Amino acid sequence: MAVAFLADWCAPCRLLRPTLTQVARKLPDGVLLAEVDVDADPGLASRYHVEVLPTLIAFRHGRPILRLTGSQVNEQLQDALRGVANPRRAEE
């Protein structure tokens, strides 16, 4: 699972949303991509020490294993999330 921490007022977040939508469609089975509005849920953002927007955190077995901050290119996100889905493949 990966969670994108975003805010409506954040220009880079608005630019990233279409990329997140495209990437989510291409994710392997078993990888879920969710969005959290940090203004609506500041406690969750605080719990994961989100200080920069946008921030994407990938989890495995409930633990953060990957953190990306700032705008990302479609290919970067796809590669990172494929590695989350299949860690052996990411090591190759």
Structure-token match 């946008």, residue found: 54
- Is there a contact between 76 and 24 (Cβ–Cβ < 8 Å)? no
User: Is 37 within 8 Å of 54 (Cβ atoms)?
Assistant: no
pTM: 0.86
Residue positions annotated with a catalytic role? 10, 13
27: DSSP letter:
P
CB 38 within 8 A of CB 64: no
Architecture of domain 7-71: 3-Layer(aba) Sandwich (3.40)
| Domain range list for the chain | 7-71
| Mean per-residue pLDDT, 34-52 | 96
**For residue range 10-35, what is the model confidence (pLDDT) as tens digits?**
999 999 999 999 888 888 777 789 99
